[in-house]
Amino acid sequence: MSKYTNKEHAVASADFCDDDYCFACGTKNPAGLRLRFVIEGDTVFTDFCLPDEYQGWAGVVHGGILTLIMDEVQVNAAAARGYIAPTAEITSRLLAPVRTNAPYRAGARITEIRRDRLILTEAQITDPAGTVCCRSSARLIVTDRADPSAMRLK
């Protein structure tokens, strides 16, 4: 029997095992993006350049892929602070086309932590000139804690 009374929050850390096969960041997934993350201040970043295989409209990266990247950078913003926290809810706003075969940067930071259980984050994707092309906010549910120095950013 689960210790959770609200099925919406019935999430355990055992449900989220990192086998390095994540589509966004796993090194073992041959079809994946293999994103890598760096920490600068209170923000986690990843730089990416996606080929035409990830387009929706001609020459434009698919919006679902962009949301996936912002999701991943937000989860890693929590991981950088020692939280194991999968996404419960995400909202994205696509503001300008993100072109295939061009460099972009996604960054995310924690905006609020509520009772060590709920983490609110925000992310954005920018082009080399600094123009914001996409924004996202997410609600992450904390399933476990770890020493931030022991956490491997994916």
pLDDT at residue 150, rounded to an integer: 59
User: What are the structural domains of the chain?
Assistant: 36-150 (3.10.129.10)
- The pLDDT, as a whole number, for residue 73 is 98
Residues whose CB is less than 8 angstroms from the CB of residue 141 and which lie 6 or more positions away in sequence, other chains included? 9, 11, 85, 86, 88, 117, 118, 119
- pTM attached to this predicted model: 0.86
For Cα atoms 101, 107, 112, give the angle at the middle one, nearest 5 degrees: 155
Full pLDDT tens readout for the chain, 154 residues: 333 333 333 444 445 566 788 999 889 999 999 999 999 999 999 999 999 999 999 999 999 999 999 999 999 999 999 999 999 999 999 999 999 999 999 999 999 999 979 999 999 999 999 999 999 999 999 998 877 665 556 5
Cα(108)–Cα(40) distance, integer angstroms: 10
CA–CA dist 22, 66 (Å, integer): 16
Question: 114: which strand partners?
Answer: 118
Q: How far does CA 29 lie from the centroid of its chain?
A: 17
